[in-house]
Structure 1
């Protein structure tokens, strides 16, 4: 259903695009998004899903995600919902978010993440070895939905035998559209996190939940509600994001025999492969709420407008990246937007890079050549978080 177009939006800025299922989006989701660079205004207003702006160019996104005076993260649902949940620190603007980020940052620093490498490598090897003799697997379900999620659950001290239940719950949350669905699923996730907090309050362990219970925020102990909200955000991020980036990256790799051969012959290329995969296959579109009237790039934004920064498109902007649609591990390194930027740069970016690097090192050692199973379509969930649902692949045994 089309929402009325506000009076401050000129007609030449209106372009109907449905982020939850536009027919222009194909199996190659990120590549098909690039049609907007060709067919739509650089900044346009879609009257669908309650009406919202869409920002598609690197420089514009980069500016908006840093301008918290005008573009706030306090509402992050499109369409807007009543009584939106508070995601700490994700839906707090600076300086309010800083004490929470500062408490978390040491646990996701390069040094802290590097200490996890042996455990990550063991997880990756075990999951790949489980499918190796079969000559086929569903990469999403057998590898990508298990490896990074297991790493996250181990880090947090979550019970690994509940992996599939937790993953399904996160997936249901991202699919939810109505206030009722979002509220009910959010309550279930908060309930699970509260159970884990109560367990660790009685039985502390060497895990992140136990450490978070001891966090100090602005010189005071963290409150239970704050802790629940932080764990909620980390649960959703840990259950979904790396899984999706890795799956789209491997979908590409499965169709590129020459790249497989290069990686198998020279493992030192793998970090560059990982970074190009992260650039090419971003999965997060991040909303902002306009909280103060302003003009940007010739566009009038008014208080109450919703704005969607399409991060995957920013990372595929041909003004920023030469031949931006090409997957090129030899391209000059440039800062992309897959992990956003500014005060809400993803805290887990070091861990995400290491996870995909280690997975690829262990995969290529065991399965240097593989391909997509023929004749199958690869459906994706689209919206503010993009996810491929299945990726059947095969290899010689």
Structure 2
């Protein structure tokens, strides 16, 4: 079978997230007790989840909800780590908590490999991506990323107030990832729509959510066919040509991995850059110190990642069991809150403070276990360059209107609107 034949069998393969769950479809609405009815989609969670998580960690370290068809929220570092490393009892076949549970038959591949893959397939699918995300490969993208950051700030000329999230943070990973995949850079606005649909649209009616996934994968297949007609040196062509177990990758593997890189590769870094700028805008002492001591930025950056970790990842319970004193049912969701793990005082000294010169910082912002972020080198480069250029060009800035800052809901949290005053 030729490469072309693989991608002409259908417009695209069905996406696992489109499988409608059979359990309760209650998702949003006021939370009476976060220990028994949590919801990461509520406005108070998006605005500031840390007091909620701190309270749960003290009185009910593994919270429960009947929403989403049933789920659990461990809040202590040790519990989050234990589940992240336990691939025997917890599956990664769906990593976005919603009313959609993919069929068990989809394991061990999942719909967006390797992040949705279970062992043993996960190891080999992840290994395919490693060459594109080494420190050496990432370093080759730094000059272009830095030039692009400067061009974004050039556009601020003559303005006193800018949106540091909407006009700066979001565009940097969009450009880097689109360059890596060989997508048209002008498609950036479409990427934002895809991201919001996948990560923030979990409460949409099933037919609307399905239509959103259809739109995303239709776009990806257009890009795949363009690369089949015009091969070039980028990650999309690499995936089309890659082999696993002596065979070319299946179409759903290629498109699923592209979807992962597009969605996760953009939103996580966008959120980290935005949260870091938010902190510096509201904390003049830290901002002034980093301007005066730029060599401290790599250390401060790790602290921003710890304190404002953007990602919470989902797992599914494989079989009925009692785990650490709670009775979990097969296909219950688990939300692995890396932000909560990073604020656990049993793991970190002064856990609720942002200490930009923190020396020991084994944070979990990039995850734990076999699914630790394959793109961590890339994300760190983008975050460092984005902050270096901003602090060089905009050394003095503050929140223009703290009440106007809007944070994303769902499993990737970062500022979506961040008005700052320059000077």
User: What TM-score does the superposition give when structure 2 sets the normalisation length?
Assistant: 0.86
Deviations 1:305-363 (A, max 9, x none): 22111111011111101111111012232321211111111111111111010111111
Give runs of aligned pairs for residues 119-158 of structure 1, distance below 5 A: 119-158=144-183
Instruction: Report which stretch shifted further, 173-182 or 184-193.
Output: 173-182
Deviation at 1:56, TM superposition (A): 0.7
1:324 correspondence with 2:351:
yes
Structure 1 residues 369 and 210: alpha-carbon distance in aligned structure 2, compared to 1, 3 A threshold: same
Hey, what's the Cα distance between the residues in 2 that align with 1:75 and 1:319? Answer: 30
Cα RMSD of the aligned pairs, angstroms, is 2.2
Deviation string, structure 1 residues 94-126 (Cα, Å, up to 9, x no partner): 111122110101100111111111111111111
**What is the correspondence of 1:77-156 to structure 2 with a 5 Å cutoff?**
77-81=96-100, 83=102, 86-156=111-181
Partner residue of 1:61? 80
Please state whether the residue corresponding to 2:83 is helix, strand or coil: helix
Say whether the 8 Å CA contact 1:132–1:366 is kept in structure 2. Answer: no
Q: Which is further off, 98-107 or 85-94?
A: 85-94
- Show CA shifts across 1:363-387 (max 9, x none): 1111111000036332223222224
1:353-392 paired onto structure 2 within 5 Å? 353-374=380-401, 376-392=403-419
Q: Find the counterpart in structure 1 of residue 40 from structure 2.
A: 19
| Match 1:273 to one of 300, 305, 309 | 300
SS at match of 1:307: strand
- Map 1:253-264 to 2 at 5 A: 253-264=280-291
Match of 1:336 among 363, 375, 386: 363
- Residue 327 of structure 2 corresponds to residue 300 of structure 1: yes
Contact 2:300 2:358 in 1 (8 A): no
How far the C-alpha of 1:134 sits from its partner, in A, is 1.6
- Cα 1:36/1:161, change in 2 over 3 Å: same
Inter-partner Cα distance in structure 1 for 2:377 and 2:206: 34
TM alignment of 1:241-256, pairs within 5 A: 241-256=268-283
Alignment of 1:179-194 (within 5 A): 179-194=206-221
Q: SS of the residue aligned with 2:239?
A: helix
2:71 to 23, 45, 52: 52
CA contact (8 A) 2:73 2:336 kept: yes
- Contact 1:50/1:78 (<8 A) preserved: no
Q: Which moved more, 1:77-86 or 1:144-153?
A: 77-86
Question: How far apart, in 2, do the equivalents of 1:288 and 1:192 lie?
Answer: 27
Change (3 A) 1:75 1:206: closer
Distance 1:62 1:132 in 2: 46
Partner of 1:8: none
> Aligned equivalents of 1:309 and 1:267: distance in 2?
33
Q: Which residue pairs with 1:312 in the alignment?
A: 339
Q: Deviations over 1:293-316 (max 9, x none)?
A: 444333333323221111110111
